[in-house]
Amino acid sequence: YETGKKVADDFYEWANINFDERLGQLNYVINPVI
């Protein structure tokens, strides 16, 4: 259970970082258009 929780936390952190980066790239592409 502990190990699974740690893996889930790690994945959640990675997904958050990944999501932020994607969102940043998206904003960079979209903002000049707006």
Q: How far is Cα of residue 29 from the mean position of the Cα atoms in its chain?
A: 17
Residue 20: both structure tokens together: 């932020």
pLDDT for 34 equals 53
Burial class (CB in 10 A: 0-12, 13-18, 19+), 16: exposed
> pLDDT tens digits for 1-34?
689 899 999 998 888 888 888 888 887 777 766 5
pLDDT for 19 equals 86
pLDDT for 7 equals 92
Residue 6: both structure tokens together: 């740690």
Q: Which residues contact 32 (CB under 8 A, 6 or more apart)?
A: none
